[in-house]
Amino acid sequence: MSSPSNASLASTAVEILDAMPHHMAAVQSIYSHYVLHDLCSFEEEVPSVDQMQQRRADVIARGMPYLVAMLDGEVAGYAYATAYRARSAYRHSVEDSVYVAQGMHGHGIGKALLRDVVRRCTEAGFTQMVACVGNSANAGSLRLHESLGFEQVGVLRDIGFKFGRWVDTVLMQRALR
């Protein structure tokens, strides 16, 4: 994906859309970078486009949003909500995920995506949203979530092992009602 200059980003509106099957190759491409090079995702093998298609279908089947951010006709990021946990007592709580294409950070794409995920989950009647931020050094994701009302509620220390090192997960939470 080519990256627009900062000047063109300032004049270009980011459009948030429901992710469709034809977006999923771009979504998989964005995510593959994080799997292969970053500690924010604890996955260690890149899922196929077909696997990403199935994940999207599962999210939508549960009545939760799966969104893409479009910039100049290209997918610049994506976000979605999933069930926080499988047990029925957690049925009113969701967990968010947000990923922005490399070179596109700092332009409000993640915030636009997460804001819409929060809005849609609120409208759908969910009451709590949790963010499980991989890597306690992930300042960008922590700031993003804080900017939309999430509060840090805990840290799971050394919970994941990736790239030969132990990694924390920061738990953040926001009420939706």
Please tell us whether the domain made up of 13-175 is placed in CATH 3.40.630.30: yes
Cβ burial 21-46 (10 Å sphere, 16+ → b, else e): eebbebbbbbbbebbeeebbbeeeeb
| Burial class, 152, CB count within 10 angstroms (exposed 0-12 / middle 13-18 / buried 19+) | middle
What pLDDT is attached to residue 1?
Answer: 43
What pLDDT is attached to residue 36?
Answer: 98
What pLDDT is attached to residue 10?
Answer: 46
CA dihedral 112, 55, 153, 156 (to 10 degrees): -130
What pLDDT is attached to residue 177?
Answer: 87
Instruction: Give the domain ranges of the chain.
Output: 13-175
What pLDDT is attached to residue 2?
Answer: 42
Query: Do 81 and 33 form a contact (C-beta atoms < 8 A)?
Result: no
What are the two backbone dihedrals, phi and then psi, of residue 126, each rounded to the nearest 5 degrees?
-70, 150
Pairing of strands 66-71, 151-162: unpaired
Q: What is the DSSP letter of 106?
A: T
| Per-residue pLDDT in tens (0 to 9) along the chain, 177 residues | 444 444 445 447 899 999 999 999 999 999 999 999 999 999 999 999 999 999 999 999 999 999 999 999 999 999 999 999 999 999 999 999 999 999 999 999 999 999 999 999 999 999 999 999 999 999 999 999 999 999 999 999 999 999 999 999 999 999 998
What pLDDT is attached to residue 28?
Answer: 98
Q: What share of the chain is helix, strand, coil (3-state, %, to 5)?
A: 35, 35, 30
Place of tokens 């509620």: 153
Which residue, 95, 68, 99, is CA-closest to 81?
A: 95
Q: Which residues contact 30 (CB under 8 A, 6 or more apart)?
A: 1, 75, 77, 78, 99, 100, 101, 102
Give residue 92's identity as a one-letter amino acid code.
Answer: H
